[in-house]
Amino acid sequence: MKIVSFTMVNNEAEIIESFVRYNYNFVDQMVIIDNGCTDNTIEIINRLKREEDYKIDVYDESLEVYDQFRLDNKYLKKILAEYNADIILPLDADEFISGEDNPRKILENLSLDSIYYVNWKWYVLTGDEDYSENFIPRRVMYHLKKRAWNLSDGTLVTKVIIPAKYFKDNKLTLTMGHHDIFGSNHINKKRLKNMWIAHYRAVSSKQIVSKTSTYVIRDIATMSNNIETAQRTNQLYDIKYNNGDVDSIARDVSYGGYEGEIEYEPLDLKFCSENTSNIRYNSLSNESMSDLLMRTGQEMAMRVYNLERKIKNRSLFKPTIFWLDGVRGEENLFPNPSVKLTLLTFKYNVQAYITEYKQIEFLKYNYRLIITPKNIKFLPHKYVVIPDENYLEIKNKLIDAGVGEKSIVSLREYKKKIGILGNIYANLCLLPRLISRIMQYVKRNGVSHAVEKIKSKLDK
C-alpha cells in the first residue's frame, strides 16, 4: 500500500522538521506546497531531502494568495493523477498522526471503500515547556482532555483520511481545512476511534509573534481573506497592548478559544525510528524577528513591483528572468550588464535579472529588478534564460541554489521555444523600444550626455 501526505506551508520553520521526521514514519512520500515561505522552512525540507533522502516533492505556489480550498484540491487532483497512491493524508504542518496501534498498520488495514474521519487531540502550552527541546512533541506534552469540538454546535472536529480510488471514482471535493468532503450523497463515512491527530496550534511565544505579525502583513495585501482572519488582528492587538506579556498571549492562543481540563500525554514514539526526535537543522529555525519582518516586507515590495511591471509590460511573451551577465566594482558592487543583455531586455519580456551577488539584490537596471535565487519564486516567470557561454556552469549554480531545473534554458533554447514568429516579433519590438529609451535619457540628461552614454556602452 502506498500512502502519500500533502501539506501547504507558510513560515513553519520551528515545527517543520519535527513534522516531517515524525509523520514520515507512516507515509511513503510527502508533497509540500510552498505558499510563500519567507523563513527557512523550504531550506529545512531541502536539507532533509538532500542530506537524508526523504522522499518529499516541493511545489511552489508563492505567487498565489492564501486559498487553502483551491490549492488543496489542485494538489489532491495531482496526487490522484500522478502518484499512484492508495491512501492520501491531508495534513497541516502542526498535525501529527497517532493511534492506539502503529498508525501505518491501522491505515494498511482500512477497507478502501469509505472516507474515514479522525479527531484532534488539542495540545496546549502551559508555561512549563522546556524550550531547549527542539522536537516539538517532546516540548509540548499537555492536551485538552476532551477532543477538539466545533464551538458552534459542540460536535467533534473531524479530519479526513482519503482512499484515493474511492475519492476519485465518486468525484469528491475536499473542504477547506480537510474537515470533510462533498460531491455525493451516497458516500460511506466511518469514524476511526483508534486513531487521531495530535494538533500543536502553538509551540512557542516566538512562533505566535512572528506568524501573527507576518500573516497580518500578508492579509493586508490580499483580497481573498476577510473576517475569517480576525483572530490574527486580535492577536496582534494583544501582542502590542497587553504589556508585552507574550508568553501569556501564546498560552491563550494555544487554547484556540477552548476551555477545559488538560492532561499530560506526550506523543507516543514507540512506533517511530530511533532518530525521529533527532533535530539536526534547528539553527535554521532560530531566525530573528527583524529578519522575518524584513523578508516579509521584501516579499510585499516584490508583489508591488510585479504589479508595476505588469502595467508597463507591452510584450506578448510570457515573463522571463535573465541571468545578469556583468558586475563591476571592488569595495562596492554595481550591476554592469552587457549591451547584448540590454538589447535582449528590449526584445523580450524580461521580468527581472538574477544574480549570485547578494550585495546588489533589489537594485534595478534597465528598470528591471535584480534578485538572487532565493527570491525568484516571488517573480512571475516561465523561463530562466542564461547565456550560451558558460551555460552548464551557471545552470548548476542555479540548481544548487534551488532554482527548478526545468525552467532553466540557454538563450539558444529560448529562441527555439518561441519559434520563428516569436523571433520576428522580438526583432520588430527592438527598434521602437530602443528609440523610446534613448529619447527618455535625452529628456532627462540632454543630448551630449546621451551620446557619451551610448559611446561608453558601445566601447564595452
Looking at residue 217, what is its pLDDT? 87
Give the three cell numbers for residue 44.
Answer: 529545512
The CATH number of 313-459, from 3.40.50.1000, 3.40.50.300, 3.40.50.720, 3.30.1490.20, is 3.40.50.720
> How crowded is the C-beta side of 374, counted as CA atoms within 13 Å?
16
Looking at residue 224, what is its pLDDT? 66
Q: Indicate whether this model's pTM tops 0.75.
A: yes
Residue labelled with grid coordinates 500578508: 218
List Cβ neighbours of 54 (8 Å cut-off, separation of 6 or more).
20, 24, 30, 48
Looking at residue 223, what is its pLDDT? 72
How far CA 109 is from CA of 120, 122, 192, 283, 405, in Å, comes to 21, 26, 12, 39, 39
What φ, ψ does residue 36 adopt, rounded to 5°? 105, 40
Looking at residue 251, what is its pLDDT? 93
User: What's the gap between Cα 191 and its chain centre?
Assistant: 32
Domain ranges of the chain: 3-265+285-293, 313-459
The CATH fold of domain 3-265+285-293:
Spore Coat Polysaccharide Biosynthesis Protein SpsA; Chain A (3.90.550)
Looking at residue 244, what is its pLDDT? 66
Taking the C-alpha atoms of residue 357 and residue 364, their distance in angstroms, rounded to an integer, is 13
List Cβ neighbours of 451 (8 Å cut-off, separation of 6 or more).
none
Radius of gyration of the CA atoms of the chain, in A: 26
Looking at residue 222, what is its pLDDT? 77
List Cβ neighbours of 40 (8 Å cut-off, separation of 6 or more).
13, 284, 285, 287
Taking the C-alpha atoms of residue 136 and residue 246, their distance in angstroms, rounded to an integer, is 19
Looking at residue 241, what is its pLDDT? 84
Q: What is the pLDDT along the chain (460 residues), one digit of tens a residue?
A: 999 999 999 999 999 999 999 999 999 999 999 999 999 999 999 999 999 999 999 999 999 888 889 999 999 999 999 999 999 999 999 999 999 999 999 999 999 999 999 999 999 999 999 999 999 999 999 999 999 999 889 899 999 999 999 999 999 999 999 999 999 989 999 999 999 999 999 999 999 999 999 888 888 877 766 666 777 888 888 888 876 688 999 999 999 989 999 999 999 999 999 999 999 999 999 999 999 999 999 999 999 999 999 988 878 999 999 999 999 998 899 999 999 999 999 999 999 999 999 999 999 999 999 999 999 999 999 999 999 999 999 999 999 999 999 999 999 999 999 999 999 999 998 888 877 777 776 777 777 766 676 666 666 5
